[in-house]
Structure 1
Amino acid sequence: MIDQSVEQVLSASGDFPRIGGVRGKNFRGILPTGETALFLLAAGNLEKRVQLQKLFGVEHLFGRKAVLWLEDLPQGEPAMSGRIILSKEFVDLCLTGQRPKPRFGINFPAQQLETLQDWEDLVLNEMTMQQVRDLETWLQYGDVLLQDWGLAKKIKPGFRVLFHGPPGTGKTLTASLLGKFTGRPVYRIDLSLVVSKYIGETEKNLAHLFNTAENKDWILFFDEADALFGKRTSVRDAHDKYANQEVSFLLQRTENYAGLVILATNFKSNIDDSFARRFQSHIYFPLPRYEERLRLWHSIIPEKVKPGTQVDLHHIASQYELTGAHITNIVQYACLQAISRGESTITETDLLEGIRNEYAKEGKVLK
C-alpha cells in the first residue's frame, strides 16, 4: 500500500524522503518507519506530529506492554527514522485470539513444564507443603494485594522464591503443579543456552528472555540455579569482573519481573547472598522421612499392579532412604520386569534389584 502511494506521487522510480520507510532484506517493498506514520497521520501539522511521537515512547501503553515500538538506531540517526516494530505475538493474538507459545531455541532458551500429576501426588512434609500453599495463595491473590489493597506503592512487583534441597525431592514437580493449578505456563530455563563464555552474551540472552516473558504472568523456573546465581567472587581478573556483573544484572532483572521466579538448587549455600536476602521465601525440600516414603511407595505403584505376597512396603520404606525420584525409577524397573514375565505382580526381588540399581548410580552398595 505504501509503495502504491509513492508510485502515485513519483513519476519515476526512486525514494520519497518525506514519507520515510526503509527496504527490508527479504521483503522487497517499503517497511514503514516513525516518519512514515507521522507523514500519513499528521502531514505538515507540527502539533499533531509532536502528539503522535508519544505513541512510540517507552512510557506509552504500547511501549510498556511491548506492543509497538521503533527499532534502535545508530547514534546520530533521527529517532523517528527507526522501523515500526509491531509485536508478532500481539498480531497473532488479534488474528487468532490466542497467544502463541514461544519456540524453544537460542532466542528463547526455555521449555514449558507440564505434568499429568495432581497435588495428591506431591508428597512433602507438613512445613514444606504449607510454604508451597502460601506460594499458591500469592499466585491467586497477588494482584488483589498490590492493586486493590494498594501495596503496589510499598513493595516490588512479582515474587521470588528459592527451592533448595537434595535432588529428587519434588522441586520441579512443585513448580509444575503451581503452574497447572493457577493457570500459568511454567518455563524451565535451559542454562546451557543462556550462559556464554563471551563477554556480554549472557546478559544479552537473559535480557531477551525476560523481555519475552514480560507482561505474560509466566512462572520462570531456574533449575540448578548455581550456574547463574552463584556467589560473587573477589575480582582477580577481567573474567571475575564480568562474572560479577552477570550476577548483578540478573539480580536487577529478577527484582523487576512482575511474575513468579523460582530458583532451584541442591545447595542453598551456593547461592549468592544478595539473592538470598531479596527472595521473599526460602522453601526447603528435605529427604522424605519414613511416613513420606511409605506414602510415595503406595502412590507411585500403579493401581493395576499388585505387590507380591512377600513384599513388605513398610519394611522397605523403613529400611531404604530413598527420594521420590528414586522410588519412581525403582517402580518403573519393577513393573517392566513384571510385564516381561507376562504378569501384573511385582516381586520383592524386582524391587530390591531396582533399589540396587539406584544405589549403584550414587556409588552405594545395597546390603
Structure 2
Amino acid sequence: METNHQHITSSLSFLQSCINSRLADYFKQEHATAFSYPEWQPDGNDSAFSDFLSLYQPNNEERIILMLALMPHVQPNFLDAIIQQYLPDGGDFQEIGGVKGTNHRGTLPTGETALFVLAGNDISKRLQATSYFSGEHFFAKNHILSLEQVKEGEPRMSGRILLEPEYIDLFTTGTVSPPAFSPDFPARPVTTAMEWSDLVINTKTANQINDIKVWLLHNGTFMRDWQMDKRIKPGFRTLFYGPSGTGKTLTATLLGKEFKKSVYRIDLSQIVSKYIGETEKNLEKVFNKAENKDWILFFDEADALFGKRSNVQSAHDKYANQEVSYLLQRVEDFPGLIILASNYKSNIDQAFVRRFNSIIHFPMPNAEERYALWQTALPVKAPLEPGADLQNIALRYDLSGAAITNVIQYASLQTIYRNSPTISVNDILEGIRREYEKEERVFVK
C-alpha cells in the first residue's frame, strides 16, 4: 500500500476549510458566507487511511471529528495557526474549546471544539452533534475514538478527543503495532515455530479442535448470510483441560498461526486483585482493547479467574461471586475466540461450563503417543546411540509432551558438552529421572 500522507493531507485541507468557514461566519467577517461544508474530493490512492474511509463511509461531520482527533499527531500547531488568523493580538477564545497538554504545547481539540466546528452556536445542532460521541456510534462500538473522562462536575464535552493508539499507527504509518504489555493491557502475544504435525494428541481431542477450526472458517457465513446473529450469541468459548504439558497452549498458538490471528495470553497475576472491583477493571481493559480486533484470548490457569463460586458467608464472598458474574457476562459478549485452560475441569464454575461451546480434554499421552513425541522431539543433528530402544522408553516412562521436550533438551546439551556424535540412553534416563523428581515421583531405571 502507498503511504497515507496524500489522503490525510486532503482531509486536513477539508478540515481547515471547515474551521475557516465556521470562524468567518462566527466573527461575521466581511464577504463571509453562511457556513457550509466545502466539497471534498477523495484521492484515488490506495492506503490504510483510504481503506478505513471506504469501510466506514463517514459523513462530513464524522470526518471532521476524526481529523480533529488525528490532527495533533500529524500537525501540532494546526488549530493554533488557524485561530491566530482571527485573533492576531491573541486572547482567549472559549467557544472553540481545546486544552493544553502536559508536554504538547499546542491546543488539543475537545468535544467542545467539535461542537463549535459542526454547529457554531446553534443549540439544536450542538445537541444533535453530541450523538457522535455516544456509545451507540461506530466510533465507540469499534473503539476508534472517544472523549476523555473529565472530573466530576465538569462538562463532558470538555474532554479531549482521543484517537485509539492503533488507529494513530494505522493512519500515520499504515501498520498497527501490537499493544505493549502494561498495566493497561496485561496480556502478552504467544507464537510458535511449530506446526500441527508437531502436536501429538489423541483422535477425539483432534476432532474437537477441528470443530474450532470450522467455527473460525465459517462463523461469518453462519451469522451474517444465514442471519443467525439475532439468535446466537457472538464468539466461541472453549475450555481446554488436562495435565500441564499436554498441548493446551500449543494448540491455542497453532490456531492463531493457521488463521493468522494474534493470540494473547492474559497475565492473571496482573488481573486478579485483592481489592474489590479491581479485577473487573483490569479485565475490562483487556476486553476493551481486544474488542473487534479479531484476536484469540487465552486464559492459562483459568481457575484463578473462573473458579467456583462459594456460599456467601462474608462480604468478601459476596463480592467474589459478583466478580464471577461479571466475568460470565463479559465472556459471553466477546465476539471472538476465548480459550480457557485449566488442569482440572472440576475447578471451573458450572455457570461457565454450561456456556462453553466446547470442552476439550487433553489427557496424558499413551505409550504410542509418547513414542511419536520422542521421535518428533529428537534433534536432526544427533541421533540416538546404536541399540537405543526408544519404543521401550516410551512404554516404561509416563511423561507429558513438555516433559519429553525437557528430557531431550537436557540430553542434547550433555551430548554437545561431551562433543559426542550421538545421544546416549544414559543421558535420556537421567533427564527422565530429573523430570520424575520434579513431580515427586519414583524413578526406576
Letter aligned with residue 291 of structure 1:
E
RMSD: 1.6
Query: Identity over the aligned pairs, expressed in percent?
Result: 56
Partner SS state of residue 151, structure 1: coil
Query: Where does residue 442 of structure 2 map in the other structure?
Result: 365
Q: Note the C-alpha offset of 1:161.
A: 0.2
Pick aligned residue for 2:249 from 159, 164, 172: 172
On the 8 A contact 1:310/1:348 being kept in 2, the answer is no
Are 1:270 and 2:344 matched, yes or no? no
Q: Secondary structure at the match of 1:85?
A: strand
Please give the alpha-carbon distance, in whole angstroms, between the structure 1 residues aligned to 2:293 and 2:217: 15
Out of 404, 422, 427, which is 1:350 matched to?
A: 427
Are positions 1:282 and 2:359 aligned together? yes
Q: Which residue number in structure 2 is paired with residue 144 of structure 1?
A: 221
Matching residue of 1:135: 212
Give CA-to-partner distance per residue, 1:179-207, whole Å, 9 cap, x none.
Answer: 00010000011111111122221111111
| C-alpha separation in 2, matches of 1:14 and 1:197 | 50
How far the C-alpha of 1:75 sits from its partner, in A, is: 4.2
Matches within 5 A, 1:80-91: 80-91=157-168
Greater gyration radius: 2
Q: TM-score normalized by structure 2?
A: 0.79
Q: Secondary structure at the match of 2:339?
A: strand
What amino acid is aligned across from residue 154 of structure 1 in structure 2?
R
Letter in 2 for 1:182: F
Report 1:1-367 matches (<5 A).
Answer: 1-10=78-87, 14-367=91-444
Counterpart of 2:278, as a letter, is E
Unaligned segments of structure 2, at least 5 residues: 1-77
Distance 1:106 1:79 in 2: 26
**CA distance in structure 2 between the partners assigned to 1:75 and 1:333 by the alignment:** 60
Q: Match of 2:17?
A: none
Shift of 1:325: 0.7
Higher RCO (C-alpha 8 Å, min separation 6): 1
How far is 1:7 from its partner?
3.8
- Find the aligned partners of 2:179 and 2:219 in 1 and give their Cα distance: 25
TM-score normalised by structure 1 residue count: 0.96
Q: Helix, strand or coil: the match of 1:204?
A: helix
Count of matched residue pairs? 367
Q: Deviations over 1:13-67 (max 9, x none)?
A: 5532211122222223322111111212322344543443222221111111111
